[in-house]
């Protein structure tokens, strides 16, 4: 039985292994390498994507769970007109957040979700993002989230 979902605004019909993690579908079948593999058990967040607008760890989400859902990866958000997403991306660049960069796609996806849900995130809200950064750029990540939220509020985009 085919699984139907939307990936980056494109209709998908998947007849392969329904237990395949979304991460491997994205990387091996859709050719979208922006979403990163790191831990493989949903602990680190490097594989974070949006499913129906909410941040989800794709390494532990089977494709079978996507029936009728909308998936967005960093490739779609970077190419979209989503102003909140661009506020986060701009803040990441302005504050030179990444070091090695491996976790940053997941960090950005989690931050976009947070700013969309909480236009004025508190320190506790920001701390609720459990994505890991081995380089320890947490102070810049937190500041980028604050800056993006403020820019979104100033522009009336939240």
For the cut 90, the answer to whether the pLDDT of residue 124 exceeds it is: yes
Distance CA 142, CA 88 (A): 11
Please calculate the CA angle 136-94-71 and round it to the nearest 5 degrees: 75
Backbone angles phi, psi at 144, to 5 degrees: -65, -40
Q: What residue spans of 4-154 are helical by DSSP H?
A: 22-24, 74-79, 83-94, 104-117, 123-127, 138-154
- The structural domains of the chain, ordered by start, are 3-76 (3.10.20.30), 82-154 (1.10.150.120)
| Tokens, residue 100 | 């090695």
pTM of structure: 0.94
pLDDT computed for residue 158 by the predictor: 43
pLDDT computed for residue 80 by the predictor: 82
pLDDT computed for residue 75 by the predictor: 95
CA neighbor of 89 nearest in space, from 74, 71, 99: 74
Are the C-beta atoms of residues 12 and 32 closer than 8 Å to each other?
A: no
Per-residue pLDDT averaged across 33-61, rounded?
A: 97
- DSSP, collapsed to helix, strand or coil, labels residue 57 as strand
- Note the pLDDT tens digit of each residue in 62-116: 999 999 999 999 999 877 877 778 899 999 999 999 999 899 999 999 999 999 9
CA neighbor of 73 nearest in space, from 101, 106, 100, 24: 106
Are the C-beta atoms of residues 66 and 58 closer than 8 Å to each other?
A: no
Per-residue pLDDT averaged across 125-154, rounded?
A: 95
């Amino acid at each position: 039985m085919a699984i139907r979902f939307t990936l980056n605004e494109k209709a998908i019909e998947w007849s392969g292994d329904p237990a395949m993690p979304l991460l491997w579908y994205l990387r091996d079948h859709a050719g979208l390498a922006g979403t990163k593999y790191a831990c493989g058990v949903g602990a680190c967040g490097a594989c974070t994507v949006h499913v129906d607008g909410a941040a989800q760890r794709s390494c532990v989400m089977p494709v079978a769970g996507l029936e009728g859902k909308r998936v967005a990866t960093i490739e779609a958000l970077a190419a979209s007109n989503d102003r909140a997403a661009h506020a986060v991306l701009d803040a990441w660049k302005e504050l030179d957040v990444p070091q090695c960069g491996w976790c940053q796609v997941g960090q950005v996806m989690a931050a976009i979700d947070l700013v969309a849900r909480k236009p004025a995130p508190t320190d506790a809200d920001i701390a609720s993002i459990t994505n890991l950064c081995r380089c320890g750029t947490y102070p810049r990540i937190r500041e980028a989230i604050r800056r993006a939220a403020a820019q979104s509020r100033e522009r009336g985009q939240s």
